[in-house]
């Protein structure tokens, strides 16, 4: 096998990163944009010791699951890796991704049910983060997603997986930025001003919180005037904020955000509770699918416990804690982000939740010092999962059940393997489609301690 050689291959499966897997004389070849059961002519584009990458030259016989998709930018935009695959089959593929991770990484044999579909498969993404750049000669402002495996911006003017108001706000920013003598960011030279546009949209109210991320440490008068212009242009914009990030980094937002005009949050609803979401606080991008997860967790707790003591770790704005409060004796929430805990307290007060304790603290440190025992511990960590110390301590303070919510099957499998070795029993794992048309999948694992 050599670079540039062409082969006819059958796509056997989809990997956990959303690319097709084929074999040539037993040698693994990964093919981007492939669907299981495709018959393809490919060209070898990269060759390593243990695998190769191939690019599609011709679709000889398309899989019965292959579709045209609904977005003309799908092939060049990196956001919806598997939009060209039938949606119902996407759900099956995500189940297989979870099953493979749990079996191969976790060493566990657990039946994985079909992924629960998202109530919305278009217009579902209620948070967007667009990098911004500028053409060299015409100074035309570009904003969109990066092409896969590059830092070349695809200028997105219409995105069917997000609310249309987001497209309108971004287009207004693109068209008016130069009028305010504000430059776009140049990543290569770490120069220019506007780095990212971040918009949070509320499914419940239609409100939008716009945050402009600047390569600076202060808001100039031009920036302030531009923020006010955005606010006055759109009735559905509740506030415009500025975030400062002057570091040469891939991290989108810096540590400081100021609200220039309007309110520094939007309001969203999960189950029957209202939450205040800020520029830097975590909240699920797909509220309708998140609602399914919260129903699932609340139903399990309500069915199996009577007024439990509940711990919500990695709590963010305490969404789980606040939603579970009315079926719990007491809820304790732990979150290290101070702005998130501030909004959590505001949300708890707004919803009249009294039986809640909200702690601004690293979860690992909280666990080390905690003497109380909890009937239910909810873990909802970032993609990297939990440290072994955190798992040890969560196990120690839990009397009965850990509910582990994860957006990464690989780290979930690793952590479940660790808990199993401590004697825990994995009762179930339920996938949910939080990120439609991508290879990402959310999971809720129910873990019995004794």
Query: Do 212 and 161 lie in a common domain?
Result: yes
Question: Which of 51, 66, 81 is a domain's end point?
Answer: 66
How far apart are alpha carbons 418 and 394 in whole angstroms?
Answer: 12
pLDDT at 149: 80
Query: Do 297 and 432 lie in a common domain?
Result: yes
267 close to 346: Cβ distance less than 8 angstroms: no
Backbone angles phi and psi of 367, in degrees to 5 = -60, -40
In a domain, 277, yes or no: no
| pLDDT of 450 over the 80 cut | no
Of 445, 420, 257, 450, nearest to 343 by C-alpha is 257
| Greatest CA separation for the chain | 67
What is the average pLDDT across 144-160? Answer: 90
| pLDDT of 363 over the 90 cut | no
What is the average pLDDT across 103-124? Answer: 96
In a domain, 280, yes or no: no
Please give the mean pLDDT across all residues of the chain.
Answer: 95
- Total domain count, the chain: 3
In a domain, 200, yes or no: yes
Q: Residue 255, Cβ neighbours under 10 Å: how many?
A: 11
What confidence tens digit (pLDDT) does each residue in 175-199 have? 999 999 999 999 888 899 999 999 9
Q: What is the CATH number of the domain that holds 11?
A: 2.40.50.140
pTM above 0.75, yes or no: yes
| pLDDT of 278 over the 90 cut | yes
Query: Do 431 and 336 lie in a common domain?
Result: yes
In a domain, 82, yes or no: no
Query: Do 371 and 341 lie in a common domain?
Result: yes
| pLDDT of 229 over the 80 cut | yes
Annotated active-site residue in 77, 333, 407, 436? 407
Query: Do 111 and 34 lie in a common domain?
Result: no
pLDDT at 138: 86
pLDDT at 436: 96
Q: Residue 221, Cβ neighbours under 10 Å: how many?
A: 8
Cα 257-291-330 angle, rounded to 5 deg: 80
Burial class (CB in 10 A: 0-12, 13-18, 19+), 30: middle
Helix (H, G, I), strand (E, B) or coil at 432: strand
Query: Do 115 and 44 lie in a common domain?
Result: no
Question: Which of 270, 305, 339 is a domain's end point?
Answer: 270
341 close to 358: Cβ distance less than 8 angstroms: yes
Query: What does the DSSP assignment read for 137-196?
Result: TT--EEEEEEPTTS-PEEE-S--TTS-HHHHHHHHHHHHHTGGGT-PBPBTTTTBSSEEE
Query: Do 305 and 357 lie in a common domain?
Result: yes
Residues 6+ apart with CB under 8 A from 255: none
217 close to 246: Cβ distance less than 8 angstroms: yes
Q: What is the CATH number of the domain that holds 411?
A: 3.40.50.150
Query: Do 266 and 398 lie in a common domain?
Result: no
The DSSP secondary-structure symbol of 25 reads T
Residue 212: beta bridge partners?
Answer: 197, 242
- The confidence band for 1, taking pLDDT boundaries of 50, 70 and 90, is confident
Range of the domain at 60: 6-66
pLDDT at 420: 96
Burial class (CB in 10 A: 0-12, 13-18, 19+), 146: middle
- The confidence band for 289, taking pLDDT boundaries of 50, 70 and 90, is very high
446 close to 428: Cβ distance less than 8 angstroms: yes
pLDDT at 270: 97
In a domain, 76, yes or no: no
428 close to 112: Cβ distance less than 8 angstroms: no
Residue 58: beta bridge partners?
Answer: 41
**Residue scoring higher pLDDT (65 or 250):** 65
Query: Do 194 and 294 lie in a common domain?
Result: no
What is the average pLDDT across 377-394? Answer: 92
Question: Is the sign of the CA dihedral 254, 255, 261, 265 positive or negative?
Answer: positive
Query: Do 366 and 399 lie in a common domain?
Result: yes
| pLDDT of 99 over the 80 cut | yes
Query: For the chain, how many helices (H) and strands (E)?
Result: 9, 22
Helix (H, G, I), strand (E, B) or coil at 377: strand
| 77 catalytic per annotation | no
What is the side-by-side order of every strand in the sheet holding 309-313?
A: 356-360, 330-335, 309-313, 374-379, 398-406, 442-448, 425-432
Q: What is the CATH number of the domain that holds 215?
A: 2.40.50.1070
What is the average pLDDT across 38-63? Answer: 96
What is the average pLDDT across 212-234? Answer: 96
pLDDT at 53: 95
Query: Do 319 and 440 lie in a common domain?
Result: yes
> Which of 40-54, 355-369, 406-420 is predicted least confidently?
355-369
Helical H segments across 234-355, by residue range: 287-304, 319-324, 338-350
**Strand 309-313 with 330-335, pairing:** parallel
The DSSP secondary-structure symbol of 276 reads E
pLDDT at 365: 83
Helix (H, G, I), strand (E, B) or coil at 83: coil
pLDDT at 364: 79
Rg (CA), the chain: 23
In a domain, 73, yes or no: no
Place of tokens 């002057």: 246
Core vs surface per residue 308-338: b (16+ CB within 10 A) or e: bbbbbbbbbbbbbbbbbbbbbebbbbbbbbe
Query: Do 196 and 101 lie in a common domain?
Result: no
Of 320, 380, 325, 315, nearest to 356 by C-alpha is 325
């Amino acid at each position: 096998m050599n670079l540039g050689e062409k082969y006819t291959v059958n796509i056997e499966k989809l990997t956990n990163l959303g690319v097709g897997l084929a074999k040539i004389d037993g040698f693994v070849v990964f093919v981007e944009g492939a669907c299981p059961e495709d018959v393809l002519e490919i060209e070898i584009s990269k060759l390593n010791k243990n695998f190769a990458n191939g690019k599609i030259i011709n679709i000889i016989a398309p899989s019965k699951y292959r579709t045209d998709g609904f977005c003309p930018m799908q092939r060049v935009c990196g956001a919806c890796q598997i939009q060209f695959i039938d949606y119902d089959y996407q759900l099956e593929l995500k189940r297989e991704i979870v099953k493979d991770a749990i079996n191969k990484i976790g060493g566990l044999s657990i039946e994985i049910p079909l992924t629960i579909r998202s109530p919305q498969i278009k217009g579902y993404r209620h948070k967007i983060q667009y990098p911004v750049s500028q053409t060299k000669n015409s100074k035309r402002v570009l904003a969109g997603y990066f092409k896969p495996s590059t830092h070349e911006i695809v200028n997105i003017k219409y995105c069917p997986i997000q609310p249309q108001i987001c497209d309108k706000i971004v287009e207004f920013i693109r068209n008016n930025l130069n009028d305010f003598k504000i430059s776009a960011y140049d990543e290569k030279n770490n120069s220019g001003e506007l780095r990212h546009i971040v918009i949070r949209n509320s499914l419940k109210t239609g409100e939008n919180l716009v945050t402009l991320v600047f390569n600076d440490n202060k808001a100039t008068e031009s920036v302030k005037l531009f923020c006010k212009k955005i606010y006055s242009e759109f009735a559905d914009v509740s506030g415009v904020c500025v975030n400062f990030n002057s570091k040469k980094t891939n991290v989108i937002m810096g540590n400081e955000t100021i609200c220039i005009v309007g309110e520094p949050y939007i309001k969203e609803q999960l189950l029957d509770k209202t939450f205040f979401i800020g520029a830097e606080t975590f909240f699920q991008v797909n509220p309708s699918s998140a609602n399914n997860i919260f129903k699932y967790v609340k139903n399990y707790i309500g069915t199996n416990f009577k007024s439990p003591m509940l711990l919500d770790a990695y709590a963010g704005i305490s969404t789980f804690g606040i939603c579970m409060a009315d079926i719990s004796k007491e809820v304790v929430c732990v979150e290290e982000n101070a702005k998130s805990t501030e909004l959590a307290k505001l949300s708890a007060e707004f919803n009249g939740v009294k039986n809640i304790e909200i702690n601004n603290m690293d979860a690992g440190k909280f666990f080390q010092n905690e003497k109380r025992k909890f009937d239910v511990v909810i873990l909802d960590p970032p993609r990297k999962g939990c440290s072994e110390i955190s798992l040890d301590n969560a196990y120690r303070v839990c009397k009965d059940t850990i509910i582990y919510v994860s957006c990464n099957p690989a780290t979930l499998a690793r952590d479940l393997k660790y808990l199993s070795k401590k004697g825990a029993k994995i009762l179930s794992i339920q996938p949910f489609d939080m990120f439609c048309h991508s290879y990402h999948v959310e999971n809720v694992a129910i873990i019995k301690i004794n």
